[in-house]
Amino acid sequence: MPPYGPPRRNNRARIIIGITAPVVIILLIVIVNLLPDTSAPTGEWKAGQCVTPAGHVGDQEGKSFRRVGCDASDAEAKITKMTSAGLTGMEPTDCPEDTDAMVKVERSGHLDLTNNVACIRNLKAPHPGDVGQGGGLFRAGDCITDPDATASLKEVPCSESHWGTVVRWADSAESCPQGAGYNAVRTLGGSRALCVRQATGQTS
C-alpha cells in the first residue's frame, strides 16, 4: 500500500494566520484612530483646536485660556480662526461674528502681530457672542457702557443698564448717523468708529 502524504492541516492554519494578521493590524489602526483625543495641542495655535475655560461676558478685557484636546472632559470652546488685533491690540478684528471671546496669544521672545488673537466659540450655550448677550465682538444690536466712564469700551448684556446700542461700524466718526440720540465712539489707535444710538435719558 502506498504511503499517505503528510496532513495538510498545518498549511491551512498558516493560510488562516496569514489572512487574519493583516485584519488584526487594520482593526488596531481603526481603534487607535477612534480613541478620544484628550492630549493638549502643542506648537502654533490653530483653528480647530480647543481651549478651556469657556468664553464669558467680560472676556474682552483679558483672561487666561489654555489649550486642551477636543475630546478632553474640560474642553469648553473651539478656536474658529487665528487673526490679528493690530499693533495696539485694540483695533477691530476680523473674527467670525459669532465669536464668544478673543484670546490674546503671547509667545515668549517672539513678536507676531499677524496671528496674535484666537477667536473662540463655546462648544455649548451660553454664547455671550450672540447679539445683545454682552460679549464677543462689538456689532449691531450690542449694548455698551458709557465710554467716558471707564478706561476701556465695555459691552454688557442689553438686559442690563447700558449707555447705548451699537448701530454699526463706520470708517470714521463723521460717517456715523448725525443728530440727537446718536454718537460716535472712536477706537483706540484706529480710525474706525462705533456708531451708537444712546439709550433714552442718556446724554453725551
Domain for residue 186, yes or no?
Answer: yes
Q: Report DSSP state, residue 110.
A: B
Domain for residue 22, yes or no?
Answer: no
Asked whether residue 121 falls in the same domain as residue 153, the answer is: no
pLDDT at 200: 76
pLDDT at 85: 65
Strands 117-122 and 66-68: unpaired
Query: pLDDT digit string (tens) for 89-113?
Result: 445 568 898 999 888 776 655 555 5
- Boundary residue ending a domain (99, 130, 161): 130
Please, is 142 exposed, middle or buried when counting C-beta atoms within 10 Å of its C-beta (0-12, 13-18, 19+)? buried
Asked whether residue 126 falls in the same domain as residue 143, the answer is: no
pLDDT at 70: 93
**HSE, side-chain direction, 13 A CA sphere, residue 112:** 16
- Boundary residue ending a domain (130, 157, 176): 130
DSSP structure string for 116-185: -EEEEEESSS--TTSTTSS-SS--TT-EE--TTTSSS--EE-TTS--SEEEEEEESSGGGS--STTEEEE
Contacts of 12 (CB under 8 A, 6+ apart): none
Asked whether residue 69 falls in the same domain as residue 121, the answer is: yes
* pLDDT tens, N- to C-terminus, the chain (204 residues): 555 555 555 555 554 444 444 444 444 444 434 445 568 888 888 999 999 888 776 555 445 788 999 999 999 999 999 987 654 444 556 889 899 988 877 665 555 556 778 889 999 999 999 999 998 888 899 999 998 887 778 889 999 999 999 999 998 889 999 888 999 988 766 678 899 999 876 655
CB atoms within 10 A of CB 46: 13
Peptide bond into 128 cis (omega under 30): no
Number of domains in the chain: 2
Domain for residue 201, yes or no?
Answer: yes
Domain for residue 91, yes or no?
Answer: yes
Asked whether residue 147 falls in the same domain as residue 125, the answer is: no
Coil vs helix vs strand at 104: strand
Asked whether residue 45 falls in the same domain as residue 66, the answer is: yes
Domain for residue 21, yes or no?
Answer: no
Query: pLDDT digit string (tens) for 60-81?
Result: 544 578 899 999 999 999 999 9
Asked whether residue 45 falls in the same domain as residue 116, the answer is: yes
Range of the domain at 63: 38-130
